[in-house]
Amino acid sequence: MRDADSKIEEVLDAVVGGATDRTCPPLLARAVRYAVFPGGARLRPKLCLAVAAAHGDDDPRLSAAAAAAIELLHCASLVHDDLPCFDNANERRGKPSVHVAFGDQIAVLSGDALIVLAFESLGQAASECLAPARLSSLLSITGRAVGMPFGISAGQAWECEPTVDVSKYHRAKTGSLFVAATCAGAAAAGGDAEPWTLLGERIGEAYQVADDIRDATSDAETLGKPVGQDQIHGRPSAVQESGISGAVNRLRGLVQEGVDSIPACPGGDLLKLLILEEAKRFLPKEMARRAAA
Amino acid sequence: MRDADSKIEEVLDAVVGGATDRTCPPLLARAVRYAVFPGGARLRPKLCLAVAAAHGDDDPRLSAAAAAAIELLHCASLVHDDLPCFDNANERRGKPSVHVAFGDQIAVLSGDALIVLAFESLGQAASECLAPARLSSLLSITGRAVGMPFGISAGQAWECEPTVDVSKYHRAKTGSLFVAATCAGAAAAGGDAEPWTLLGERIGEAYQVADDIRDATSDAETLGKPVGQDQIHGRPSAVQESGISGAVNRLRGLVQEGVDSIPACPGGDLLKLLILEEAKRFLPKEMARRAAA
């Protein structure tokens, strides 16, 4: 996926660079770049591009914009999640979180501005693309993934309720953006989005399980953020439910179910291989090595 | 403008109602409705619909969606502006502000969800409209108005900088969404947006001057929010610069300049009358009466 990696950084650079030029308030500009670069694993945009490629990717500029928009929305959610009124997390990706480095005001504004930029940049790409009509379906897909009632904002809001359906919570808070990644990849390439929902759901669940495993077994230095948070915040976790090895088995099963759900398309077989390969990185290296042995 | 009033409430009801149904986390759903209803003067969506009407409004569903999106973005900015880390305002529109009524977490999420909903609902309307290609220009117009480097997020971020160009600050924080209102009205009706920029800018400036006057002369009960905030926060104000009567004259001059800038279009004359009428409401009733005497 080296090509996809550099394509993603390139389009994020262009989109974020354009919005944070010399005309932008300097602190906001720095904070937004800090929130996006250097990135994490860029799993969601990679998944989006991989599905677009499997579908023929006849409009690479639009699929790249969709992938970037999804990553920007992800970064926005991390910035707001880390705020003192939510997780009050001091570290993210191995450095001080945005509100620690730039203050709460700039952190709130960076998240807002990243959400806006995601949608604005989709519109920009669509204005120059082959089939501008694809834009409305990309908007629906990405909006649904981060808004109400099923997206990230809703997922986070379930944390404020006295009772929560845990799987509904995870679907909204984590799964939704993976579903957006697979569906937007198909839609950007002119395909039907709906058959790609299940792949996104299963990869999202697998990622959530991997996150639980990392939170329970890793150290803060490896992870670049505080560990043991599920236990501290009393959050449900796959590790609590079924132990480490149970959780690892569940993760593998979910990835396999996702891969099995891939609809027939020209690049389907290659996509399966890519996903199985990428999913190995969900776990800490040492654990993946042990699991593979 | 009675028709426009009810049309705006109707479309806001439909858009917000759909997103905050029984599947949405209940607190978030209540907070989002609380942030949008009952509204303020709905100036921006009225301006948007008035410009669309002057342009023939051949796709009323799209112009209504654009007007609603602009109002949702406005409501989102108020919710985040009132947060403790910004203005720490306890009241808005005569009732406790969202973070006071629902807590900081839900206030941050409500703002996020309203931003997302604005763009998502535009996409939804465009998917069923006459000319889906209008969507990308509506996205650019609204995104520019609320994002970086020139929109509301940037405007708010100028407050975090050691030095600020005051007119740049006001253009971003207040003017930008009025510009979006006029330009989106034209774009939704298939017109050229750019010639409508000046009208939006001047109405936005006039509104800012009116806001300064109200802040300096009104009482909290009439205004539904704390007064004297410009002085408390050391913010520049037209009243400080040129006194009350100077500010009132400036307001009138700006509205007239705006009206004079209206490009030739079928409904231009009616639009001028409407804007002059609406602008009278920028000031507290008693003051408007005295000014008219």
H or E element at residue A267: none
B132: contact with A, CB 8 A cutoff:
yes
pLDDT at A60: 95
Contacts with B153 (C-beta within 8 Å, 6 or more apart), sequence order: A28, A109, A112, A113, A116, B146, B147
**A108–B146 C-beta distance less than 8 A:** no
- Spatial contact of B193 and B137, defined as CB atoms under 8 Å apart: yes
Does the pLDDT of residue B234 top 80, yes or no?
Answer: no
Report how far Cα B72 is from the mean position of its chain's Cα atoms.
Answer: 9
Interface of B with A in 77-116 (CB under 8 A): 80, 83, 85-86, 103-106, 108-109, 111-113, 115-116
- Spatial contact of B55 and B185, defined as CB atoms under 8 Å apart: yes
Nearest to B114 by CA among A112, A126, A26: A112
pLDDT at B35: 98
pLDDT at A214: 87
- Spatial contact of A69 and A119, defined as CB atoms under 8 Å apart: yes
- Spatial contact of A200 and A179, defined as CB atoms under 8 Å apart: yes
pLDDT at B2: 57
Q: What is the mean pLDDT of residues B215-244?
A: 80
**pLDDT, averaged across chain A:** 92
pLDDT at A249: 93
Question: Which range has highest mean pLDDT (A120-129, A186-195, A224-233, A281-290)?
Answer: A186-195
Q: Encoding tokens for residue B180?
A: 């979006």
Q: Nearest Cβ partner of A106 from B29, B147, B157?
A: B157
> Nearest residue on chain B to A126, judged by CA atoms?
B136
pLDDT tens digits, one per residue of A87-132: 999 999 999 999 999 999 999 999 999 999 999 999 999 888 778 7
pLDDT tens digits, one per residue of B168-190: 899 999 999 999 999 999 999 99
Measured CA to CA in angstroms, residue A84 lies from A62, A89, A90, A173, B25 at distances of 36, 7, 9, 18, 21
Residue scoring higher pLDDT (A223 or A151): A151
Q: Is the C-alpha dihedral spanning B83, B86, B91, B95 positive or negative?
A: negative
Q: Encoding tokens for residue A31?
A: 């904070």
Say what percent of chain A tops pLDDT 90: 75
B188: contact with A, CB 8 A cutoff:
no
- Spatial contact of B278 and B43, defined as CB atoms under 8 Å apart: yes
CB atoms within 10 A of CB B96: 15
Q: Is the C-alpha dihedral spanning B190, B194, B199, B202 positive or negative?
A: positive
Q: What is the DSSP letter of A237?
A: -
Q: Encoding tokens for residue B131?
A: 């000319």
pLDDT at B291: 61
Distance CA A196, CA A186 (A): 7
Q: What is the mean pLDDT of residues A36-52?
A: 96
pLDDT at B232: 78
Strand partners, B95: B92
Residue scoring higher pLDDT (A221 or A139): A139
pLDDT at B144: 97
pLDDT at B228: 80
pLDDT at A10: 97
Q: What is the mean pLDDT of residues B43-53?
A: 96
pLDDT at B48: 98
Contacts with A162 (C-beta within 8 Å, 6 or more apart), sequence order: none
Distance CA A153, CA A174 (A): 11
If one counts the domains in chain A, the total is 1
- Give the helix ranges, DSSP H, for A37-175: 43-54, 60-81, 98-102, 104-127, 134-146, 152-158, 166-170
Strand partners, A96: A91
B-chain residues near A127 (CB < 8 A): 136-137, 140
H or E element at residue A284: none
pLDDT tens digits, one per residue of A154-207: 999 999 999 988 889 999 999 999 999 999 999 999 999 999 999 999 999 999
Q: Nearest Cβ partner of B32 from A124, A143, A148?
A: A148
Distance CA B72, CA B32 (A): 10
A-chain residues near B35 (CB < 8 A): none
ipTM greater than 0.85: yes
pLDDT at A218: 79
State which amino acid sits at residue A267.
G
Q: Is residue B292 very low, low, confident or very high in pLDDT (cuts 50, 70, 90)?
A: low
**pLDDT, averaged across chain B:** 92
Q: Nearest Cβ partner of B139 from A80, A122, A148?
A: A122
**A80–B148 C-beta distance less than 8 A:** no
CATH at residue A242 = 1.10.600.10
pLDDT tens digits, one per residue of B189-200: 999 999 999 999
pTM of the model: 0.95
The domain of B22 spans 2-292
Distance CA B237, CA B214 (A): 11
Q: Quick check: helix, strand or coil at residue A61?
A: helix
What's the CA angle centered on A113, arms A110 and A114, to 5 degrees? 85
CB pairs under 8 A between A and B: 209
Measured CA to CA in angstroms, residue A118 lies from A28, A183, B88 at distances of 16, 16, 28
Q: What is the DSSP letter of A86?
A: T
